[in-house]
Amino acid sequence: MKISPFDSSRPGSQEISWCPGCGDFAILDAIKETLTALQRTPQQTAVISGIGQAGKLPHYIHSNGFHTLHGRAIPIATGVKTANPQLTVLAVGGDGDMYAEGGNHFLHALRRNPNITVIIHNNQIYGLTKGQGSPTSLPGMKTTTQPRGVTAEPLNAMAIAIAQNASFVARSFIGDKELTCDVLRQAVEHNGLAIVEIFQPCVSFNKLNTYKWYAEHCQRIENHDCSDQAAALALALAVDPYPIGVLYRSGKKKTFEEQLPSYRNDDTPLWQRRVDRDALQQLLASKK
């Protein structure tokens, strides 16, 4: 096995609590491969997660990390980037984490455009809480808490992101590791918010959306101009098969942090800065 600088030797990393066969393993590998390929160091990287099976990811990687609360990975990752724009910041979570509990943050991150990569492990079910319907569960799917079948429309995060002119929008299926790594590499390299949704089968609770099902229902995007918003939206609205790959790149947009007063002149992290005492005294003097 290849040795990655992102392999963790911490005692807590040795036993991974995902179910055997879970798509999260391959996502973890893809993230490590991508960061290694891009020559990022564990010190420069921060992986911010929410809650759920995907939220456990920071424990299995040698990198800065913050395992936070359900739904809050995006604003916390935005805060991390705010404090230090030199960091490579990933926000990871599942479909429940990012689209249900964190739905409002997802929407506003699209507007705000921080230069972070948001990775949504979409298995169309709640795993850690054992099999309830999620915002992306397909209608009719029977679950422990929707025994008569899910009735709500699945959330189409790709279409929402494109409609909102998000700066980078992609979807992949973890069964296509090559594509996933390629998409992740483009996402991390992208200067601005990158949304990457990865279909990832839950082998324990989702008996509908299996590896086989995804393999049959996903198709790589070909001959698509990803700068064409209308074409991208049409792709995002397609469900059978689901187009996978980079759906959309907006034109050049300023990132959130480069527009903050703190970074107009340079990107020195906040911790290296000291208050300008003279300016402070002047401000106080203006209050006479």
**Interacting residues with other proteins (CB under 8 A):** 10-13, 42-46, 48, 51, 56, 58-59, 62-69, 72, 74-84, 86-87, 104-105, 107-108, 112, 256-257, 260-265, 269-271, 273-277, 279-281, 283-284, 287-288
| Matching residue, tokens 């949504």 | 120
Judge contact between 132 and 125, C-beta under 8 A.
yes
- Nearest to other proteins of 58, 94 (CB atom): 58
Rounded CA-CA distance 49/58 in Å is: 7
- Nearest to other proteins of 60, 242 (CB atom): 60
- Nearest to other proteins of 151, 271 (CB atom): 271
Question: Regarding beta strands 242-249 and 194-199, do their DSSP bridges make them parallel or antiparallel, or are they unpaired?
Answer: unpaired
- Nearest to other proteins of 223, 286 (CB atom): 286
Instruction: Give min distance, CB of 273 to other proteins, in A.
Output: 6
Instruction: Give min distance, CB of 124 to other proteins, in A.
Output: 25
What percent of the residues of the chain are helix, what percent strand, and what percent coil, each to the nearest 5? 35, 15, 45
Residues 6+ apart with CB under 8 A from 4: 32, 33, 36
- Nearest to other proteins of 211, 263 (CB atom): 263
Decide: residue 29, CB within 10 A, 0-12 exposed, 13-18 middle, 19+ buried: middle
Instruction: Give min distance, CB of 277 to other proteins, in A.
Output: 8
- Nearest to other proteins of 40, 207 (CB atom): 40
- Nearest to other proteins of 66, 213 (CB atom): 66
Instruction: Give min distance, CB of 176 to other proteins, in A.
Output: 30
Instruction: Give min distance, CB of 58 to other proteins, in A.
Output: 6
Instruction: Give min distance, CB of 114 to other proteins, in A.
Output: 10
Instruction: Give min distance, CB of 232 to other proteins, in A.
Output: 24
Among 104, 134, 96, 117, smallest CA distance to 45 is for: 117
- Nearest to other proteins of 117, 180 (CB atom): 117
Judge contact between 168 and 248, C-beta under 8 A.
yes
Cα-to-chain-centroid distance, residue 21: 21
Residue 264 phi, psi dihedral angles, 5° rounding: -60, -35
DSSP code string of 96-146: IIIIIITHHHHHHHHHH--S-EEEEEE-SS-TTTTS---TTPPTT---SS-
Instruction: Give min distance, CB of 84 to other proteins, in A.
Output: 5
Residue 154 CB coordination number (10 Å): 18
Decide: residue 72, CB within 10 A, 0-12 exposed, 13-18 middle, 19+ buried: buried
Rounded CA-CA distance 288/269 in Å is: 33
